[in-house]
Structure 1
């Protein structure tokens, strides 16, 4: 008996709760599955996100595969907004990823369409049965695989419950003709107005997506309602399909709101990325409204040409032509939209730059900020942002050191402007330490894999060492400045010795940059050898300074020389600590992978 067999308030409330409960099972399954996928394939996904280049096509593929695995375009686009906010992605790069995310989310429509092809129990419950033991007895990767199966099973199970919870309007005509007739009249009114009907259903799709905050869930509801007669008379499947297709267009606009909200507290660059997502989807919907009738007719012909085994259901459910046609429409619309607009990415970027003006460049400087998506936990993928920010800190440290060497090599030149620039870089490193530390703590508050827990501990140590190294470099800068102001000069021998020491420090800083991607045994041994050489040079140089002072040399100059040697040796120690922290994490990760 349908859930809405009577119009009594308790019956209606109970029916709505059944629908919400089914939707909750689906969303919960998607959340578990998405987070399990991140733990199983998180490292490769992070590497793909971290290595996005200016090529819009590589960004498109990255967005597609990430969203296909995570099953949430909202999650991917929010991640993109946070990357842009931290200055880790440019606007051009972000638009490519967003385009790929739009295509990746179409996988959900195909999953929903397949639900009518078989008994859900034959797939959902076995998947849950396979995954459950691993959840309780598995460790690390084994547990993550168990959660992946469990989540996937719950997705299917939730979709099956949703199908059963939404009452069939045709059956309602027998049980409760008054209620069914009222619904039919509303549907008829909305569906019999030509282009206005398309717009009405489109607005309904926007509202539906805003309410459930998930285009995947909205798609599931849309197809289920279409198959149960809530979007038109099932005896006119083409009309029902067109109504569901119009709702899908609305969902494409509604899903952009999540990224828009995420960018509210972000900088101007993140706001532009969110507007680019909105602009791309709106442009697509506008041209589709113009071509809606012929395009939907073409899609319907493609759906009708599918094999009978695909178009007919095996469990007594209504014909699945509508479901497959909606899935084809969703995929083909996004694919054609990408093919059309990917050539105009620079123009879209200029449009949103004009839309969101940079009125306060100082306030809009890139900052690492944890932006939560809400539904799907992105602890694993958000970690890529922290990794990239740490690489930026490494680059900043190396640039500061090169700046110091440049000052050292030009003792007779007034480089006060360069000193001011290096001071700003040192301040930036202090801010980055605060940002990255706060970010990593928020990442660790979400569910992440054990290897990442160790890596967070390591990165907290790494960024702290980088900050202390930049402090040392700035002290060296102040020594060179003081030497210049006091008119003191290092001899050719002292300058030659400092140049040799600086070259060794630069070499170990280069190893630090490579260590962020992994530490081999050879790299670790090489780092220790370089650090030993730095210690040896520092001791030999300082002994020479002592001898010169005993022989009547200029004490103040020798003290500056000794202080310079000590700071350079301390920078080498900080660099070795960074490599050691990375090496310990590498061993811990490898150990867990073997379990």
Structure 2
């Protein structure tokens, strides 16, 4: 028996299987990008919503490891707390079973046999890729091509190991794995840890089962080990992260180990003492999919009520409590970049947080020119420094997203983000200027006239509200709110001309202090420019909504 030929054929088939899975996942992710952004909003909901979210995202990107790595990134970025992370981790284990069902479909749907479907899928996908002009067509083409490659890969693996069905040593090895749960779990763990994909390791098991090599008992224990092995990727990704993020990886490991202990113990009792005949019989690809799915669903149902206890245990092991938010830190994580559509939505949230800080500064501006309190002046200067840090961090992250394989629409979204961040930063600069005006008034001990105060308050209301509308328009992608900004900005322009003319007349009549008059005019300029930048944000939103 030529073992080298068998090995080369198996490795080649595995490579094609993994590559097909990645191509299909990439196409699914791009095609479902907007839906995945909507799903991300569920992070603010309860733990059950997190389970559904984790299952949905994993079904799209075809990897529980990738989902859990993203969770580690979300926790590290402060986007997700540990309770939300727990729900997503549980759901990811369920979502990863989708690939196994695709592979096993050849048994329960004859028309899906690789020999018939894979060549057709590849041919159709290539035709769509060549003649398709729109990005969506190319995304669908990638899904179809990936599907074909995945099937060809699993067939190649099965064909390459077919001679081993007559090899006594190989059969004996699987029998031992079935009789020794610890060895079976260890084998599944090792293979999954090496290739870092439970979907791929389940595919390997199914390719061996297709030629009648795997006993039922061995498969059951190997599948349990695969669920533990998939934790390795998340643990590795948490190296260098904050303790909270490391705790998320520990939660994933604990969840799968506890599930394996409980379900593995029940399986051992059933297969060893109640139905040893089933344990010794050969397993099919579909039965592997059933066991994989049932194991993950039952584990989630059993451990869901105990999830808070698992979180506490993980915190104790990781020696961490929930960490507070540092407003100057950019809560975006490079781990999330592997799924650009979600990275974009995370960035939208972070821009929204930065926008809230600017809005808070503008609220202080509404009073600082009149009260001139030291704490307000200090706050505005510190807030501007925080916004500068956020601007640099967010812009760098957005550029990293642009370097990924993203759609044309997402490239346009990146451009809008960079412009909006720039406009927010400029507004923050003007809030600092206003704090300096307040400081100058305080140092010179001068006051505005009652008329000047009333006019400044009117201008502040118009310009601050224009920014508030602009921020809401961006966060909610609200066209009507964006149009309100344009109305307010036009009003601010007219008001600036009117108030400037009125104030110059007062200065000419010595009705106003000269120093206060200069500050008044400078403040008008700053406020009018704040409304200009608010309009820029609104126009970017209108372009996004129209695209």
Matching of residue 476 in structure 1 with residue 434 in structure 2: yes
C-alpha distance after superposition, 1:92-117 (max 9, x if no partner): 11211111111111122222322345
In the alignment, what sits opposite 1:166? 161
Conserved in 2, the CA contact under 8 Å of 1:215 and 1:251? yes
In the alignment, what sits opposite 1:356? 318
User: Which residue of 215, 218, 222 corresponds with 1:247?
Assistant: 222
Cα distance in 2 between the residues matched to 1:76 and 1:298: 38
Cα distance in 2 between the residues matched to 1:347 and 1:564: 56
Cα distance in 2 between the residues matched to 1:430 and 1:443: 20
Query: How has the CA–CA distance of structure 1 residues 484 and 166 changed in structure 2, closer, same or farther, with 3 Å as cutoff?
Result: farther
Query: How has the CA–CA distance of structure 1 residues 56 and 360 changed in structure 2, closer, same or farther, with 3 Å as cutoff?
Result: closer
In the alignment, what sits opposite 1:142? 137
Matching of residue 581 in structure 1 with residue 543 in structure 2: no
C-alpha distance after superposition, 1:168-214 (max 9, x if no partner): 433x3xxxxxxx2333444444444xxxx111111111111111111
Matching of residue 342 in structure 1 with residue 325 in structure 2: no
Partner of 2:330, secondary structure, is coil
Partner of 1:488, secondary structure, is coil
- Aligned pair count reads 539
Conserved in 1, the CA contact under 8 Å of 2:462 and 2:492? yes
Cα distance in 1 between the residues matched to 2:397 and 2:46: 28
User: Which residue of 204, 223, 234 corresponds with 2:206?
Assistant: 223
Cα distance in 1 between the residues matched to 2:33 and 2:282: 35
User: Which residue of 363, 367, 392 corresponds with 2:353?
Assistant: 392
Cα distance in 1 between the residues matched to 2:432 and 2:272: 68
Cα distance in 1 between the residues matched to 2:306 and 2:442: 53
Query: How has the CA–CA distance of structure 1 residues 286 and 496 changed in structure 2, closer, same or farther, with 3 Å as cutoff?
Result: farther
Alignment of 1:312-323 (within 5 A): 321-323=283-285
Partner of 1:52, secondary structure, is helix
Matching of residue 154 in structure 1 with residue 149 in structure 2: yes
User: Which residue of 114, 120, 124 corresponds with 2:114?
Assistant: 120
Tell which deviates more after alignment, 486-495 or 277-286. 486-495
In the alignment, what sits opposite 1:545? 503
User: Which residue of 398, 411, 425 corresponds with 2:383?
Assistant: 425
Cα distance in 1 between the residues matched to 2:518 and 2:19: 66
Cα distance in 1 between the residues matched to 2:446 and 2:143: 67
Cα distance in 1 between the residues matched to 2:446 and 2:313: 56
* Consecutive unaligned residues in structure 1, runs of 5 or more: 7-11, 173-179, 232-239, 305-318, 590-595
Tell which deviates more after alignment, 452-461 or 469-478. 469-478
Cα distance in 2 between the residues matched to 1:298 and 1:438: 60
Matching of residue 182 in structure 1 with residue 145 in structure 2: no
Cα distance in 2 between the residues matched to 1:356 and 1:364: 21
Cα distance in 1 between the residues matched to 2:31 and 2:543: 21
Structure with greater helix percent: 2
Conserved in 2, the CA contact under 8 Å of 1:50 and 1:385? no
Cα distance in 2 between the residues matched to 1:113 and 1:576: 55
Cα distance in 1 between the residues matched to 2:238 and 2:534: 36
Alignment of 1:367-382 (within 5 A): 367-372=330-335, 377-382=338-343
Query: How has the CA–CA distance of structure 1 residues 283 and 448 changed in structure 2, closer, same or farther, with 3 Å as cutoff?
Result: same
Conserved in 1, the CA contact under 8 Å of 2:247 and 2:320? no
Partner of 2:241, secondary structure, is coil
Report the TM-score, using the length of structure 1 for normalisation.
Answer: 0.83
Deviation at 1:296, TM superposition (A): 6.1
Cα distance in 1 between the residues matched to 2:274 and 2:250: 30
Query: How has the CA–CA distance of structure 1 residues 144 and 187 changed in structure 2, closer, same or farther, with 3 Å as cutoff?
Result: closer
Deviation at 1:467, TM superposition (A): 1.3
Matching of residue 14 in structure 1 with residue 5 in structure 2: yes
Matching of residue 214 in structure 1 with residue 197 in structure 2: yes
Conserved in 1, the CA contact under 8 Å of 2:42 and 2:50? no
Conserved in 1, the CA contact under 8 Å of 2:365 and 2:434? yes
Matching of residue 52 in structure 1 with residue 13 in structure 2: no
Report the TM-score, using the length of structure 2 for normalisation.
Answer: 0.90
In the alignment, what sits opposite 1:287? 262
Conserved in 1, the CA contact under 8 Å of 2:192 and 2:198? yes
In the alignment, what sits opposite 2:182? 199
Cα distance in 2 between the residues matched to 1:364 and 1:265: 18
Query: How has the CA–CA distance of structure 1 residues 150 and 185 changed in structure 2, closer, same or farther, with 3 Å as cutoff?
Result: closer
Cα distance in 2 between the residues matched to 1:443 and 1:297: 52
Partner of 1:329, secondary structure, is helix
Compute the RMSD of aligned alpha carbons.
2.9
Conserved in 1, the CA contact under 8 Å of 2:77 and 2:333? no
Conserved in 2, the CA contact under 8 Å of 1:368 and 1:432? no
